[in-house]
Amino acid sequence: MTQLMEQAVARASQLPEEDQDALAAILLREIESERRWDDLFSRPASVALLARMADEALAEADAGRCSQLNVDEL
């Protein structure tokens, strides 16, 4: 276990059980979500789809149909 994870577990262990369970549930959901994304993106069909989408986005940019993102306007 990493030092940061050990710190997080030590701090979490000081919380009330209800809060510990809530944090544990969040962590477990995140781990499962990451596993699903890894599985999804490792499939050959996903790799091909992402490559095709990247090519389309680059073609749009090359054609001048994209604009600069301004985070202040979000």
pTM: 0.61
What is the residue type of 52?
R
For 5, what's the count of Cα atoms within 13 Å in the CB-facing half-sphere? 4
11 in a domain, yes or no? yes
Mean pLDDT of the chain: 94
Contact 41, 35 (CB under 8 A): no
23 touches 15 (CB < 8 A): yes
Any domain includes 46: yes
Count the domains in the chain.
1
Q: Residue 3 has what pLDDT?
A: 98
Q: How confident is the model at residue 32, as a pLDDT? A: 97
In a domain, 29, yes or no: yes
How many CB atoms are located within 10 Å of the residue 22 CB?
13
Domain of residue 12: give its range. Answer: 3-64
